[in-house]
Amino acid sequence: MLASDTDLNPNPNPHPDPVHYQMESLISILENTNTEAVDENFDVLRAQKILDEDHYGLPDVKERILEFIAVGKLRGTSQGKIICLCGPPVVGKTSIGRSIARALNRKFYRFSVGGLSDVAEIKGHRRTYIGAMPGKMVQCMKNVGTENPLVLTDEIDKLGRGHAGDLASAMLELLDPEQNENFLDHYFDVPIDLSKESYCANVVEMIPNPLLDKMEIIAIAGYITDEKMHIARDYLEKTTREDCGIKHEQVEVTDAALLAAIENYCREAGVRNLQKQIEKIDRKIALQLVRKGPSNERPVARVHVVLSNETTTESLSEFVEAEVGGATQVVAGSVEGSSNEMASETTEEAETVQSDFPADQIQCPTDQASDSKYTLVTAKIQETEATDTVEKVLVDSLNLSDFVGKPVFHAERIYDQTPIGVVMGLAWTAMGGSTLYIETTQVEEGTGKGALHLTGQLGDVMKESAQIAHTVAREILHEKELDIPFFANSKLHLHVPAGATPKDGPSAGCTMVTSLLSLAMKKPVKMDLAMTGEVTLTGRILPIGGVC
């Protein structure tokens, strides 16, 4: 047996000839560029159907994508577009890019720039280095084999910056429609047209302004409870049960249990933790099913053998032995009884003998059907599958803790009736949002002792907002009741509960004003009322950032 040098040494040169690799890659890219681009599909109805299948909700995002497709249909072609998808984690930004590519019938390519700090990752290495490689975009065109792919640049807000240059500045040429028509890769040193590519970016914040200016921002907000319910029913439950090997009829999760899981375990903008909780439920159910053991019953086939009065017991016994094999005794006993009855009868009515055998031991007579030895008139086999009783596991709000443990979050309402000086406010968090109380009480009263003490781990901005609220409440009280010098003669203590959690921002201004006025006027605030908004020194309420 002869072995080639390649077989004996499969990798004789770990560093291939750079000139050969360069020419091979360049020819591959030029072939892809010279060939026609992939025919795009500008069917808006088809795109709407694909987006609805892959994602629930997100009407603004879907509307913008459909607008892009409609413009391409009217123009006959779609120019390269840079779309920046901005939103919290796990709201579907990356999967939306894949859905856009499927709706447009484009090739999809994804690469992440999170943590990259070397400009050569984008612009390519110089050929003078050993192991030099072209940049990410050149590798993209080589891999997808077309000149108009949809490229998802993931984690663009986490660009690194090191001694090898500023990667954000290198991305400007890549994302600028005026420059990427002649994109120059250092490895090839040949202009490459990237203007027909479309880019999606998964960002949150902290993108350099020059780079952000090149993109069209599409904000993706977090999901509300109703949307999470639909996503769990339509997408998450199906995938997790398939992964765990559980059939749909083996488990039932009630709406009350799913709602409790969302509110008490998964307070987030996305659905990652919700998917984890559903996976935890399915794993517990899978363990219960395995411990009980599967059903070992085999499918049973019922054999109906129709005989004439000429058929003897011996011939039937031979037939059963030939066709079934090994189960002759039971059938012979049944046949003997049948033959005795046949002997006592004068009519030539056919008798039917039934016997149960395992389905895998039944063979239909084919070659012996024409043999005169057997006077078999009809042989009919009916297979009846054994009905395995499937025990359904019910998960409701009462036994949910048995599957996912104790609740992580609890009800934030700590007052059945809010006392004087307490008001509920609204706060933004990384999980989407929550409520918090503003509590104010009078510590000391005396002439000229007016002061305000703040606690609750408040940031500098929130402390300034509290001072403004104190001044505004004092002015409002002065306008309404001139004879009450409450704030001038009272030392007040304002506290925001959950002291271990840092808090900052100006949006609690109007809530603090209401809390101070409630204490001064001795009037409680409605228990079902919550508020938020920055207050100015003149008493104006400003719009909330990202909402109004």
Tell me the C-alpha distance between 66 and 56, whole Å: 15
The confidence score (pLDDT) of residue 161 equals 67
Greater model confidence, 321 or 478: 478
Greater model confidence, 418 or 304: 418
The confidence score (pLDDT) of residue 467 equals 95
Q: Where are the beta strands (DSSP E) in 56-173?
A: 82-86, 108-112, 150-154, 161-162, 165-166
Tokens linked to 298: 């085999």
Give the DSSP per-residue string, 79-102.
---EEEEE-STTSSHHHHHHHHHH
Does position 461 have pLDDT exceeding 90, yes or no?
Answer: yes
Instruction: Return the ∠ at Cα 488 (arms to 486 and 492), rounded to 5°.
Output: 70
Does position 198 have pLDDT exceeding 60, yes or no?
Answer: no
Q: What is the pLDDT of residues 243-284, one digit of tens each?
A: 998 888 888 999 999 999 998 888 888 888 899 999 999 999
The confidence score (pLDDT) of residue 363 equals 46
Tokens linked to 245: 């090997």
Residue 473: pLDDT band (50, 70, 90) is very high
Does position 296 have pLDDT exceeding 70, yes or no?
Answer: no
* Mean pLDDT, residues 104-130: 79
* Mean pLDDT, residues 152-156: 80
Does position 538 have pLDDT exceeding 70, yes or no?
Answer: yes
Does position 179 have pLDDT exceeding 90, yes or no?
Answer: no
Does position 80 have pLDDT exceeding 90, yes or no?
Answer: no
What residues contact 427, with CB distance under 8 A and at least 6 apart?
Answer: 433, 434, 435, 436, 503, 505, 507, 508, 532
Tell me the C-alpha distance between 475 and 508, whole Å: 18
Q: Where are the beta strands (DSSP E) in 292-408?
A: 300-307, 351-358, 376-384, 393-395
Pick the CATH number of 225-292 from 1.10.357.10, 3.30.70.260, 1.10.8.60, 3.30.565.10: 1.10.8.60
* Mean pLDDT, residues 388-405: 83
Residue 200: pLDDT band (50, 70, 90) is low
Q: At what angle do helices 460-480 and 509-521 cross, to 10 degrees?
A: 40
Does position 326 have pLDDT exceeding 70, yes or no?
Answer: no
Tell me the C-alpha distance between 517 and 478, whole Å: 11
The confidence score (pLDDT) of residue 5 equals 43
Domain boundaries, the chain: 18-219, 225-292, 302-383, 422-531
* Mean pLDDT, residues 155-178: 73
Task: Give the Cβ contact number of residue 39 at 10 Å.
Answer: 9
Greater model confidence, 398 or 121: 398
The confidence score (pLDDT) of residue 257 equals 92
Q: Quick one: 18-219 is in which CATH superfamily?
A: P-loop containing nucleotide triphosphate hydrolases (3.40.50.300)
Q: Do residues 83 and 203 make contact, with C-beta atoms less than 8 angstroms apart?
A: no
Q: Is 163 left (phi over 0), alpha (psi -120 to 50) or beta?
A: alpha
What is the chain's Cα-based Rg?
A: 38
The confidence score (pLDDT) of residue 430 equals 63
Rounded percentage of the chain residues whose pLDDT exceeds 70: 69
Nearest to 111 by CA among 64, 79, 143: 143
Length, in residues, of the chain? 548
Model confidence, pTM: 0.64
What residues contact 49, with CB distance under 8 A and at least 6 apart?
Answer: none
Nearest to 451 by CA among 432, 466, 431: 466
The confidence score (pLDDT) of residue 294 equals 57
Q: Is 175 helix (H, G, I), strand (E, B) or coil?
A: helix
The H or E element that residue 289 is part of is helix 272-292
Do the two domains 225-292 and 422-531 of this chain adopt the same fold?
no
- Enter the DSSP assignment of 256: H
The confidence score (pLDDT) of residue 204 equals 57
Q: What is the pLDDT of residues 327-341, one digit of tens each?
A: 433 343 443 444 444
Does position 300 have pLDDT exceeding 70, yes or no?
Answer: no
Q: Which amino acid is at 393?
A: V
Rounded percentage of the chain residues whose pLDDT exceeds 90: 22
Residue 381: pLDDT band (50, 70, 90) is very low
- Please say whether the structural domain 422-531 has been given the CATH code 3.40.50.2300: no
Q: Do residues 134 and 187 make contact, with C-beta atoms less than 8 angstroms apart?
A: yes
Residue 8: pLDDT band (50, 70, 90) is very low
User: Is the Cα dihedral 420, 501, 534, 475 positive or negative?
Assistant: positive
The confidence score (pLDDT) of residue 354 equals 42
Task: Give the Cβ contact number of residue 311 at 10 Å.
Answer: 23
Q: Which residue has the tokens 């808006």?
A: 44
Residue 537: pLDDT band (50, 70, 90) is very high
Does position 438 have pLDDT exceeding 50, yes or no?
Answer: yes
Tell me the C-alpha distance between 164 and 161, whole Å: 8
Greater model confidence, 519 or 81: 519
Q: Do residues 304 and 354 make contact, with C-beta atoms less than 8 angstroms apart?
A: yes
Torsion angles phi and psi, residue 340, rounded to 5: -65, -40
Tell me the C-alpha distance between 153 and 170, whole Å: 14
* Mean pLDDT, residues 66-82: 80
Does position 419 have pLDDT exceeding 80, yes or no?
Answer: yes
Q: Do residues 403 and 395 make contact, with C-beta atoms less than 8 angstroms apart?
A: yes
Q: 233-237, 406-410, 442-446: which range is least confident on average?
A: 406-410
Q: What is the dihedral of CA 266, 272, 278, 283, to 10 degrees?
A: -120
Tokens linked to 318: 């031979």
Residue 22: pLDDT band (50, 70, 90) is low
Greater model confidence, 144 or 241: 241
The confidence score (pLDDT) of residue 375 equals 40
* Mean pLDDT, residues 467-485: 86
The confidence score (pLDDT) of residue 105 equals 84
Does position 350 have pLDDT exceeding 60, yes or no?
Answer: no
The confidence score (pLDDT) of residue 16 equals 53
Q: What is the pLDDT of residues 81-103, one digit of tens each?
A: 778 888 777 788 888 888 888 88
- Enter the DSSP assignment of 181: G
Tell me the C-alpha distance between 496 and 482, whole Å: 29
User: Is the Cα dihedral 338, 342, 345, 349 positive or negative?
Assistant: positive
* Mean pLDDT, residues 476-487: 80
Does position 290 have pLDDT exceeding 80, yes or no?
Answer: yes
Torsion angles phi and psi, residue 526, rounded to 5: -55, 140
Does position 511 have pLDDT exceeding 90, yes or no?
Answer: yes
Q: Do residues 44 and 69 make contact, with C-beta atoms less than 8 angstroms apart?
A: yes
Tell me the C-alpha distance between 367 and 378, whole Å: 14
Nearest to 88 by CA among 216, 267, 238, 230: 267
Does position 133 have pLDDT exceeding 90, yes or no?
Answer: no
Tell me the C-alpha distance between 231 and 253, whole Å: 14
Tell me the C-alpha distance between 114 and 168, whole Å: 11
Q: 162-176, 248-262, 431-445, 482-496: which range is least confident on average?
A: 162-176
Tell me the C-alpha distance between 417 and 524, whole Å: 9
Residue 311: pLDDT band (50, 70, 90) is very low
The confidence score (pLDDT) of residue 276 equals 92
Residue 470: pLDDT band (50, 70, 90) is very high
The confidence score (pLDDT) of residue 463 equals 94
Tokens linked to 261: 């899981």
The confidence score (pLDDT) of residue 157 equals 76
**Beta partners for residue 458, in sequence order:** 503
Give the DSSP per-residue string, 200-252.
EEEE-S---HHHHTTSEEEE-PPP-HHHHHHHIIIIIHHHHHHHHT--GGGEE
What residues contact 467, with CB distance under 8 A and at least 6 apart?
Answer: 452
The confidence score (pLDDT) of residue 345 equals 42
- Mean confidence (pLDDT) of the chain: 74
Tokens linked to 527: 């228990």
Does position 238 have pLDDT exceeding 50, yes or no?
Answer: yes
